[in-house]
Amino acid sequence: MNNIKFDIKNAAKINALLGEVNGRASGHTYCQFEDFKTEAGYFISKIEALLGGKKYSVGAKFSIESGGSVKSAYKYTRIGTRISLERRASGWFVIDIQRADIWAKGGECKIVLTQAHHDQAVKVLSDGYQIAA
């Protein structure tokens, strides 16, 4: 898959890829750009706030999975969609879209940071408080 900039202008390209990956599955998948735009925006904001801005976020990645929680009696896997994004110098890019097996709990979301990102996050956090003498 070619990397696609996370932008409403590229919604048609992303929707086409989602259609290929999902096939006929639609109940618990991301079927359109609009289905995951808000959730991805939440993680983008969270990462940028954690690291102190966009310029420190380059190289950060996250993945989101479709599918909310269902009753615990639901004992089979469901077909969902996993979308991975990465921050590059020119913005956020969709780097992977794939089919995922999801359980009753729903889709899993992960943020992946480098050691340099971790150090920056600690610096941002420690700038927000003082240690009492």
Domain ranges of the chain: 4-126
**In this predicted structure, what is the pLDDT of residue 73?**
64
* Nearest-angstrom CA–CA distance, 98 and 20: 9
- In 3D space, the residue among 83, 101, 79, 82 whose CA is nearest the CA of residue 25 turns out to be 79
**In this predicted structure, what is the pLDDT of residue 76?**
78
The strand pair at 91-102 and 4-5 is best described as antiparallel
Residue 101 parent element (H or E): strand 91-102
Query: From residue 72, how far is each of 18, 52, 128 by CA, in Å?
Result: 28, 39, 41
* Nearest-angstrom CA–CA distance, 93 and 62: 11
DSSP state for residue 71 in the 8-state scheme = -
Q: Which amino acid appears at position 120 of this protein?
A: Q
* Nearest-angstrom CA–CA distance, 131 and 133: 6
pLDDT along the chain (133 residues), means of 10: 94 96 90 96 97 96 88 78 97 96 83 97 93 87
* Nearest-angstrom CA–CA distance, 4 and 6: 6
pTM above 0.75, yes or no: yes
